[in-house]
Amino acid sequence: MKKMLVIVALAVVSFANAQKGTILVGGSIGYSSETRTLGNNEVKNNEFDFSPKVGYQFHESWTVGGEASFGSSKTKQGVNEDRFNTTKLGAFLRYTMPLNPTFSFFAELGLGYQAEKDKTYAGPLTSTAKGDGMYVGVTPALFIDMKKGFGLNFNIGGLNYGTINYENNGPEYKNFDFNFGKTFNIGVSKNF
């Protein structure tokens, strides 16, 4: 009888971070700053990214929700400056597989709309380019339950595809990215 109670208790604890009907709130935030010297020129680059996410867990293993990402970067070289802003709004579908009471593996499919704005200052001249398109991506990750559904998400890349079409007969970009092991991201999430 005691063994059965222990098995039931472990099963309940292992699904504590993945209960049907819970709300998932999470995301990530990032900042980087870099200064390079090219000959006598100094190049400064600053980047910021904020990516919130909200989902509804409709099954022990499945979550569906909305995601967004807001990014900004500024590169300055002498009197020249480039400001680049990105916005992504979309949806995600996540499948979670508990490994034990603390660790879970999940794979996430995200897709949606994306927009970019690039403003370049070259001395007294200014140019602006705007574009929009779509994105789709698959990201595998590991969730570590720190305490009562609050945890950290770790991923090492994924598979992504995106398009951007710029206004006024500007260029059209198509990007396919397969970067397992090339990047490392940490996010935070909480189930309510």
The CA–CA distances, whole Å, from 161 to 9, 21, 87 equal: 42, 31, 16
pLDDT, one tens digit per residue, over 120-155 is: 999 889 999 999 999 999 999 999 988 877 888 888
What pTM was computed for the model? Answer: 0.79
The per-residue b/e assignment along 23-32, b for 16 or more CB within 10 angstroms, e otherwise, is: ebebbbeeee
Lowest mean pLDDT among 3-7, 85-89, 113-117, 120-124: 3-7
Cβ(183)–Cβ(157) under 8 Å?
yes
Domain layout of the chain by residue ranges: 2-191
Closest by Cα among 16, 51, 47 to 186: 51
How many CA atoms lie within 13 Å of 161's alpha carbon, on the beta-carbon side?
2
3 state DSSP class of 61: coil
Q: What's the pLDDT score for residue 13?
A: 32
Task: Report the 10 Å Cβ neighbour count for 16.
Answer: 14
pLDDT, one tens digit per residue, over 18-41 is: 467 789 999 888 899 999 987 888
pLDDT band at 182 (very low <50, low <70, confident <90, very high): low
Distance CA 99, CA 4 (A): 20
Polymer length of the chain:
192
CATH number for the region 2-191 comes to: 2.40.160.20
